[in-house]
A and B are shown apart, each in its own frame.
Chain A
């Protein structure tokens, strides 16, 4: 028997003005699975994740988290969700502990569990000695860790991470990838990235978006079998990187 479905997106569409930024995207996520959402800049990844996390209302289509429809029972659905947006939502003038406790309270963690969850999350994210520091004083790598910590402190069933490794140095990237793999043991994770090899390292399954459309959805083996998709993605990646250089 397959693991229970923790998140399902059905026919998501989102318009920005008259442009369809996301066009009929559907997929499901099982418990204990790490799903990679691949696409180039402007492919609609962030918009899709915003709709999955309930920050943005889809123009049409629906999202269910832990069997709760976000349009009907958003309060219950969102309590099962942890979200790290592209820019971590951190209050620079807060201490790490205060930010994490605030995020936990927002997600309705009971008073009795607050300290336990804070300790556990800081240990997982390597922040044990950083609790009293002001967030604005932390390096980008540590801010990213706090960003992940605020997304997982309430032990959500689904964790959504939008490009969590962008702008980090190689050692930090390795640490964060290890953390994501570890998260995949207890929760379901959706990870957006434009790096194919990142998906190959940490994900079980991949969804590829191009111009807002879902052009591939399947396991990594299936992705490798579709060599045309993989090679075209790599080609486009190389082009983007050379443009950036």
Chain B
């Protein structure tokens, strides 16, 4: 059932020209940034060769690329997530799901999975770009995989947050805007100190971005997703009643 719903959502997302436009634009920005970083690296390569502990190509090119994608995901995810529930309500198709035998858990997980598959495509495409470094140099595979995991967890967190705001708002644009506002606020918490900083997804992503794989960061993202998915389930269950 979750698969049926996720497949339908992916179909709807890919049927919209705007999705293709956004994906194409995203790849263009990432590709351009990748080439620019590569160019910079090649220019300073001779100087780097004289240093004792010089940074490698992966940390100089791939890590900043992942960092840029993290920022772009922050802005892009609300544009996709707003459609999940708010747009179904606006187009009156929500009643088909609400009156189906699917439980609220299945509906929410189906929607979440559909969006996560779309974001995974974006992430895999960019990680494939990073892996191109292996053609010319010895790429740090561990760092690339760590970034893949980090981006994926970050995307899941933004997707869960966006899904919740899509459930509580009737207007898709309002859903996108509130999700974006909250995501930016959480991102800015990275500049705070102490406990508040620990709440920022960005701070946890930075660890993975620099190749530091810590279970605390993974647990943070998993809890973040569970929190917003549960809130969404609760909201929908209260409205439909029963299951």
Contacts and interface: CB of A to CB of B under 8 A. Distances in A.
Nearest to A108: B101
A56 B240 contact: yes
A102 B242 contact: no
B100 A57 contact: no
Contacts of A175: none
B99 A57 contact: no
Interface size, A (range): 20 to 34
B102 interface: yes
Contact of A93 (B16, B97, B101): B16
A76 B99 contact: no
A55 interface: yes
Which has the most chain A C-beta neighbours within 10 Å: B11, B97, B101, B102? B101
A50 B95 CA distance: 9
Contacts of B101: 74-76, 78-79, 106-108
Contact of A56 (B5, B11, B102, B239): B239
Nearest to A98: B11
B152 to A, nearest CB: 28
Interface of A is mostly: loop
A207 B94 CA distance: 27
B239 A105 contact: no
Contacts of A71: 241-242
B21 to A, nearest CB: 16
A75 B103 contact: yes
Interface string B80-120: 00000000000111111111111100000000000000000
B99 A78 contact: yes
Contacts of A54: 98-99, 240-242
Interface residues of B, number: 27
Contact of A81 (B11, B94, B99, B239): B99
A92 interface: yes
A94 B15 CA distance: 9
Interface string A94-105: 100010001101
B11 A94 contact: yes
Interface in A84-125: 85, 87-94, 98, 102-103, 105-108
A32 interface: no
A71 to B, nearest CB: 5
Contacts of B8: 91, 102
Given A102-B4, A102-B8, A57 B95 contact: no
A94 B88 CA distance: 14
A91 B241 contact: no
18 contacts: A50-B95, A54-B98, A55-B95, A55-B98, A55-B99, A56-B241, A71-B242, A74-B101, A74-B103, A76-B101, A78-B99, A78-B101, A79-B101, A89-B94, A105-B1, A106-B100, A108-B1, A150-B96
